[in-house]
Structure 1
Amino acid sequence: MVAVVDVQLIMQESVAAKSIHKQLDAQRQTYQKEIAKQEDKLRGAEQELGRQRADLPPDAFEQKRREFEQQVAEVQRSVQTRKRVLDQAFNESMKKLHDGMLQVVAEVAGEQKASLVLAKQQVVLAEKSLDLTNPVLERLNKKMPTVAVTVPKS
């Protein structure tokens, strides 16, 4: 027997997928608050620099301007690093979910005596009785209700 599974639906709608998104959204909000504080600090430093422009000799002002630009560059690097960290955590978590889904697909396919399982997205037409998406999704939700997202400290 040939069967089909809607991999996209499972990877988006499973309880574990939703838990991954929830965990990453929480971490993203934490990062955004920290970055907003840094941006406020930079805006204050920029205003102070503007006020000092008339009072400082040109070389001293230039030095302070370079220091300010270094601070801006540091915040930009921090933002990029955090984005990479979140992307990596997302990819690792989704890989764990995908591996778990494949294991469940193999179990359900074995029980249904399916010798070939195709991704539904690759099939033009299939009889509903060949679709194992719901049994796979239900079992995956029971076996893997969550995937712990590991976000390294940056």
Structure 2
Amino acid sequence: MGSALRLIIVTLALFGASVSFAQDLRSPILTIDSDRFYRASDFGKRVLREIAAQTDALAEDNRLIEETLEAEELALTEQRADLPPEDFRALADAFDARVQSIREQREAENRAIANQLEENRDRFLNAAAPVLEAIMREAGAAVVLERRSVFISANAIDITDTAVERMNETLGDGVQTPD
């Protein structure tokens, strides 16, 4: 890239960084950091806190189950010398089946948490569409691009902070209050 083009890009970026959305940004292209948009919103913060609490509880439960299974396995191993092989095999098979069942249950609980996270993100993005469309109209934009997909841009076309503020006003943390 030529030095003149670099100078123009740097100048535009510096100028753009000083322009705020409140100063009636007019641009046909806007950018957004969708991950930050979600994580910085009140809704995203609440969901991520809830998911973290569920994940922590599941991890603690897994640790307790693991301790119990280790103790059972040790007791089973100690019985091996005193039991006929077919009796020991029956106990070992039952233990293995129980462990497999617990593993499947834990995997299902992990999938349920992941699904909950995805469903909440989808709910957020569906609620965000009218907010982002309004920002686009105000800016005279035709498109909002994912910031990570853009090689270089002026910071002035990034609407992430504005979008977070408006989503917080519109959706809040997403918890419905009884009427």
Q: What TM bracket, shorter-length normalisation?
A: 0.7 to 0.9
- Asked if structure 2 preserves the Cα contact closer than 8 Å seen for 1:11 and 1:97, the reply is yes
Structure-2 separation of matches of 1:121 and 1:63: 57
Q: Deviations over 1:71-126 (max 9, x none)?
A: 11111111111111111111101111122222211122223332333232233333
Partner of residue 96 from structure 2, selected from 69, 73, 83: 69
Structure-2 separation of matches of 1:78 and 1:91: 20
RMSD over equivalenced CA pairs, Å: 1.9
Q: TM-score, normalised by structure 2?
A: 0.74
Q: Report what 2:4 is aligned to.
A: none
Q: Report what 1:57 is aligned to.
A: 84
**Which stretches of structure 1, 4 residues or longer, exceed 4 Å deviation after superposition?**
none
Matches within 5 A, 1:5-154: 5-147=32-174
Structure-2 separation of matches of 1:38 and 1:131: 47
Q: TM-score, normalised by structure 1?
A: 0.84
Structure-2 separation of matches of 1:117 and 1:38: 48
Structure-2 separation of matches of 1:10 and 1:99: 13
Distance change >3 Å, CA 48–CA 127, structure 1 → 2: closer
Tell me which amino acid in the other structure corresponds to 2:37: I
Structure-1 separation of matches of 2:33 and 2:69: 48
Shift of 1:132: 2.2
Structure-1 separation of matches of 2:153 and 2:173: 31
- Asked if structure 2 preserves the Cα contact closer than 8 Å seen for 1:96 and 1:147, the reply is no
Tell me which amino acid in the other structure corresponds to 1:79: R
SS at match of 1:146: coil
Structure-2 separation of matches of 1:99 and 1:66: 49
Shift of 1:33: 2.5
Between Structure 1 and Structure 2, how many residues are aligned?
Answer: 148
Distance change >3 Å, CA 22–CA 46, structure 1 → 2: same
Shift of 1:45: 1.2
- Asked if structure 2 preserves the Cα contact closer than 8 Å seen for 1:93 and 1:147, the reply is no
